[in-house]
Chain A
Amino acid sequence: MKSLISIMGLNVSEIDSLMALADDIIARPESYQDAMRRKKLGSLFFEPSTRTRLSFEAAMLELGGQVLGFSEGMSSSAAKGESVADTIKTVSCYVDIIAMRHPKEGAPLVAANNATVPVINAGDGGHNHPTQTLADLFTIHREKGRLDNLTVGVCGDLKFGRTVHSLLEAMSRYAGLRFVLISPEELKVPSYVKQHLKHNAIPYDQTESLAEALPELDILYMTRVQKERFFNEADYIRLKDSYILTPAKLENAKKDLAIMHPLPRVNEISVQIDKDPRAVYFKQVLNGKLMRMALILMLMEATK
């Protein structure tokens, strides 16, 4: 019985199989509409995350399965002091597969160690969120037809943004990539991530200028620059506009650039860009659901 706790728990060929399966779901949706008939997903959200929960639940429903669970820890057994292990042993009696979100880092691993059904980490604090990375990888695959030989820009909060760290880590297994790390000085990628890139001999540049980096990019992955990350208001005000993507900045970008964002966005991508065919962040949401469908199928297949 296999679970998914972190993106590095999947090797490249497993990710390829998941993407091939998701491609096939797009091509032949009717073949999958009853694939999870009479199966139940336990949707255990110990902290609220409406987007992720809806994506998992939509994925299971679209496979013909059913969903039960809870969406806030305060109303659940955890609030009464029950351990993750006991909750999971109980829920394992009711469902066939579990998607779990928890505010504490490592909680899904504890769940997987105690479950008798597969567990999918739907986010543990700011630690791992592997299905977001699957959505990101699949989006690049759909837009570019490949995950290698690309120049990938990541922009915004690269210091605390674990979504970006996971994406860089997952992509470091493909050949011919180059990363452009675009952030203010205060929010640069931490040294352990850079060491990981060096260790894998992946070239990267660091810059503070989104406008200068844009023309060479095949992919632009935007993230939010949060005000509370800055030491003082003046720095935030000075910098915030440099990391907002506007139609003017896009003028020099490639015609086939793919603009991604893990969402929710605040103001870092101007809404005027939503109509630009290069904006793929809402496709990314759809791709997230498709990869969650593929993942549920793969994990359930493995338990047969």
Chain B
Amino acid sequence: MNIDTIKNGIVIDHIKAGQGMRIYDFLNLGELDCVVALIKNASSSKTGKKDIIKVDRVLDIDLNVLGFIDPNITINIIKDGERVHKYHPELPEKMTNILRCNNPRCITTTEQELPHVFILTDREKDEYRCVYCESRAPALK
């Protein structure tokens, strides 16, 4: 299997070395049955070492949320073997059911069916706050 040949899918590049597994887990890539590659400690001209993830499938998720894990990553969209789009994730204004509020006093702790909604309150500081209790968002697992 040649992992360089992604036909239709994504390549997440310039992941800070060591963070690749977090993104792999966050995107639940272990569940997919298509070609998925996690490359650790690849050499990088910019940072020395980097991780790369390749997925041979178009994912039905807003990849901008990855900016919350690592703002420096590059996302490449591959179509028919060609790169058709390349971008840096831009933090979304709102994240629904991506982070979970961990404030024990928050209404989301007693009302299980409520969506966990976070709003970007400070773009420079990557700061998200819970829409209900205004607690700062926990780090992504």
Q: Do A and B bind each other?
A: yes
A interface with B by C-beta (< 8 Å):
83-85, 102-107, 109-110, 124-127
Q: Report B30 CB to chain A, min CB distance, Å.
A: 33
Interface residues of B, CB < 8 Å — how many?
16
Supplied contacts A105-B107, A106-B108, 10 more A-B pairs, CB within 8 Å: A84-B107, A103-B105, A104-B105, A104-B109, A105-B103, A105-B105, A105-B132, A105-B133, A106-B133, A124-B107
Scan residues 111-125 of chain B and give those whose CB is less than 8 A from a CB of chain A. Answer: 111, 113-114
Q: Report B120 CB to chain A, min CB distance, Å.
A: 16
Scan residues 52-110 of chain B and give those whose CB is less than 8 A from a CB of chain A. Answer: 103, 105-110
Query: In the complex, what distance in Å separates the CA atom of A105 from the CA atom of B103?
Result: 9
Query: In the complex, what distance in Å separates the CA atom of A126 from the CA atom of B134?
Result: 12
* A103 contacts across to B, CB distance below 8 A: 105
Kindly identify which residue among B109, B114, B133 contacts A127, using a CB–CB cutoff of 8 Å.
B133
* B114 contacts across to A, CB distance below 8 A: 110
Q: Report A56 CB to chain B, min CB distance, Å.
A: 21
* A85 contacts across to B, CB distance below 8 A: 111
Q: Report B72 CB to chain A, min CB distance, Å.
A: 26
Instruction: Describe B's contact surface by its main secondary structure.
Output: loop
B131 within 8 A of A: yes
Q: What would be 8 A-B contacts, judged by CB atoms less than 8 Å apart?
A: A103-B105, A104-B107, A105-B132, A105-B135, A106-B131, A107-B107, A109-B131, A127-B105
Query: In the complex, what distance in Å separates the CA atom of A110 from the CA atom of B110?
Result: 12
Query: In the complex, what distance in Å separates the CA atom of A109 from the CA atom of B114?
Result: 12
* B135 contacts across to A, CB distance below 8 A: 105
* A106 contacts across to B, CB distance below 8 A: 106-108, 130-133
Q: Which residue of B lies closest to A5 (CB)?
A: B132
Contact A110 B111 (CB under 8 A): yes
Q: Which residue of B lies closest to A109 (CB)?
A: B132
Q: Which residue of B lies closest to A126 (CB)?
A: B105
Contact A104 B130 (CB under 8 A): no
Q: Which residue of A lies closest to B113 (CB)?
A: A83
